[in-house]
């Protein structure tokens, strides 16, 4: 509703409000993230007010249409916000509030009406929140006053208190009143960076970017690693996954560290020395172990995948258990019981869906078995790993793991991964020589 003037955005959180003595830390993280989303623009100012935040211009002037767009897009990318409302700060006087609503309601009414479907009822409601108890009207009385001001001139409007096309919102405090005609739903959850970081096994598909998005919603900063098998996979795969990471970074408190591992040689070992039906599970166990070493390098306590029960052969419960046992690091699977349509809806919301749909083969398709095992068990897979020397395969993968700049695609070797593996994980996974 860009035709209605805006001199303040009212920002609301939900889950942060359940925190105890450390709530201020979550609030500060949320404010820091909003500031980053606004690229630290000096003309904006933020302050706390009764379990909410307000975003204003430092000189208290009205936002330009361009500034409204910039602020709205930034808030749409900020986890931790339950909702936000662009509106007008005015004096906490009943007549002033009613006059302001009458002045701008027609604009809001017409914008909402243009968005209706044919034969659809046009519904509205009034929501008043009064924290200043000396105000001459109660919240309900003020809602009635506003409705009586609106309804006589708009007989097509029908009241719907639960879900309305148009909401007139008013908040009344001792020093100000805030009036708005539109609420925007936020991303909810917790501010990114308020929980421990995770390392996502990021493929070029639909699911793993959504898993990363969901982890961000729980406050985790998400770094990522992808696996490729050049020359058996296309070189464009790295560019595709880097684009996905760039999209995801728009929601983060700072850009992720993005790693890529070429596992072609280890896959050739598996192809030559192991049973065909176990190939995919063996690939996944290597991925888990390489990711565990990278997570240790980053001092990250959990891995993150986009797996869901029964989605593909490697994601039966038995196979997921067998893959899990390749590492003692916690593995998070946010999508494990989600329907595919739910995942697609989140991918579209996050902006990753179109890039994920670009056709590009990934590592799991390299030498893919015709009839993959669906009921693997750890003992069988450990026997398979002895056949092809999994230790050598892990070392080769770590040597071929690079830190990737998501913009330039410049690669930087990470030689310290070998040392971390040999000091901490080699004996744990494969015993002494």
Q: At what angle do helices 378-388 and 390-399 cross, to 10 degrees?
A: 70
Instruction: Give 2's pLDDT tier (boundaries 50, 70, 90).
Output: low
What domains does the chain contain, in order, with CATH numbers? 8-185 (3.30.2130.30), 198-430 (3.40.50.620)
Of 314 and 6, the one with more pLDDT? 6
Closest CA to 214 of 323, 307, 326, 328: 307
- Do 147 and 105 meet the contact criterion of CB atoms below 8 Å apart? no
Average pLDDT over residues 170-199: 94
Residue 244: which pLDDT band, with cuts at 50, 70 and 90?
very high
What is the four-CA torsion angle of 355, 356, 359, 360, rounded to 10 degrees? 100
Give the integer Cα–Cα distance in Å for 207 and 191.
22
Alpha-carbon gap, residue 219 to 233, rounded angstroms: 34
Backbone angles phi, psi at 403, to 5 degrees: -85, 125
CB 237 within 8 A of CB 360: yes
Averaged pLDDT for residues 197-225? 97
319-353 core/surface letters (b: 16 or more CB in 10 A; e: else): bbebbbebbebebbbbbbebeeeebbebbeebbbb
User: Does residue 374 have a pLDDT over 90?
Assistant: no
Number of helices (H), then strands (E), in the chain? 15, 16
Q: What are phi and psi of 92, to 5 degrees?
A: -80, 60
Collapsing DSSP states into helix, strand and coil, what is residue 401?
strand
- 119, pLDDT greater than 90: no
H-type alpha helices, 298-377:
317-324, 340-350, 353-356
Q: What is the bridge-based pairing of β-strands 157-159 and 166-172?
A: unpaired
Q: Residues near 227 by Cβ (< 8 Å), separated by ≥ 6?
A: 201, 203, 260, 261, 262, 263, 287, 290, 362, 363
Binding-site annotation, residues: 201-202, 226-227, 284, 306, 315
> How far is residue 433's CA from residue 430's CA, in Å, rounded to a whole number?
8
pLDDT at 1: 55
Residues belonging to the binding site for ATP are 201-202, 226-227, 284, 306, 315
Residue 357: both structure tokens together: 């749909």
Helix (H) / strand (E) element for 261: namely strand 258-262
Higher pLDDT, 31 or 433: 31
Dihedral, 401, 405, 409, 415 alpha carbons, nearest 10: -30
Please tell me which residue, 233 or 416, carries the higher pLDDT value.
416
| C-alpha span between 135 and 175 (Å, rounded) | 11
pLDDT at 326 over 60: yes
72: Cβ contacts below 8 Å, ≥ 6 apart: 84, 86, 184
What mean pLDDT, rounded, does the chain reach? 91
Cα separation, 181 vs 165, in Å, equals: 10
Give the model confidence (pLDDT) of 252-277 as tens digits: 989 999 999 999 999 999 999 988 88
What percentage of the chain exceeds 90 in pLDDT? 67
| 389 within 8 A of 269, measured Cβ to Cβ | yes
Residue 74 — left, alpha, or beta (φ > 0 → left; ψ -120 to 50 → alpha)?
A: alpha
- For residue 378, the model assigns a pLDDT of 86
* Model pLDDT, residue 300: 96
The yes-or-no verdict on residue 18 having pLDDT over 90 is: no
Taking 90 as the threshold, does the pLDDT of residue 111 lie above it?
no
Quick check: 200 and 174 in contact, CB under 8 A? no
Alpha-carbon dihedral of residues 345, 349, 355, 361, nearest 10 degrees? -40
Name which of 131, 149, 129 is nearest 139 in CA terms: 129
* DSSP string of 224-248, one letter each residue: EEEEE-TTSS-THHHHHHHHHHHHH
Can you name the residues that pair with 260 across neighbouring β-strands? Answer: 226, 402
The pLDDT of residue 188 is above 70: yes
Query: pLDDT band at residue 153, thresholds of 50, 70 and 90?
Result: confident
CA distances from 262 to 60, 387, 403, 420 (A): 54, 21, 12, 18
Find the farthest-apart pair of alpha carbons in the chain and give their distance in angstroms, rounded.
87
| 3-state SS, residue 128 | strand
Mean pLDDT of 349-365: 89
């Amino acid at each position: 509703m860009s035709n209605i003037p805006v001199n303040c955005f009212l920002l609301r959180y939900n889950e942060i409000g359940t925190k105890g003595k450390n709530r201020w830390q979550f609030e500060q993280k949320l404010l820091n993230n909003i500031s980053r989303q606004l690229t630290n623009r000096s003309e904006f100012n933020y302050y706390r007010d009764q379990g909410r935040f307000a975003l204003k211009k430092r000189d208290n002037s009205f936002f330009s249409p361009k500034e409204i767009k910039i602020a709205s897009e930034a808030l749409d990318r900020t986890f931790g916000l339950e909702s936000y409302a662009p509106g007008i700060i005015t004096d906490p006087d009943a007549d002033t509030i009613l006059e302001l609503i009458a002045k701008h309601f027609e604009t809001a009414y017409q914008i909402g009406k243009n968005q209706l479907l044919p034969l659809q009822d046009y519904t509205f409601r009034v929501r008043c929140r009064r924290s200043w108890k000396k105000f001459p009207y109660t919240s309900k009385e003020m809602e009635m006053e506003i409705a009586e001001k609106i309804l006589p001139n708009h007989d097509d409007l029908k009241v719907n208190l639960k879900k309305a096309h148009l909401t007139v919102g008013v908040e009344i405090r001792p020093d100000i009143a805030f009036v708005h005609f539109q609420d925007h739903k936020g991303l909810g959850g917790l501010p990114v960076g308020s929980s421990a970081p995770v390392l996502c096994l990021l493929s070029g598909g639909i699911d793993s970017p959504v898993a990363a998005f969901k982890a961000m919603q729980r406050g985790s900063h998400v770094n990522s690693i992808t696996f490729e098998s050049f020359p058996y996979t296309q070189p464009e795969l790295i560019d595709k996954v880097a684009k996905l990471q760039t999209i995801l970074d728009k929601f983060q408190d700072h850009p992720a560290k993005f790693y890529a591992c070429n596992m072609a040689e280890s896959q050739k070992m598996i192809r030559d020395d192991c049973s065909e039906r176990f190939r995919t599970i063996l690939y996944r166990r290597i991925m888990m172990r390489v990711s565990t070493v990278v997570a240790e390098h980053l001092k990250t306590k959990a891995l993150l995948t986009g797996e869901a029960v029964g989605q593909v052969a490697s994601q039966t419960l038995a196979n997921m258990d067998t893959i899990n046992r390749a590492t003692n690091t916690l593995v998070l699977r946010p999508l494990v019981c989600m329907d595919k349509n739910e995942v697609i809806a989140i991918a579209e919301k996050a902006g990753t869906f179109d890039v994920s749909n670009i056709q590009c083969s990934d590592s799991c398709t390299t030498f893919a078995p015709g009839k993959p095992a669906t009921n693997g068990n750890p003992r069988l897979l450990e026997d398979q790993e002895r056949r092809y020397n999994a230790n050598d395969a892990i070392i080769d993968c770590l040597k071929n793991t690079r830190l990737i700049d998501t913009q330039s695609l410049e690669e930087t070797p990470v030689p310290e991964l070998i040392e971390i593996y040999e000091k901490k994980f080699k004996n744990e996974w494969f015993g002494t020589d």
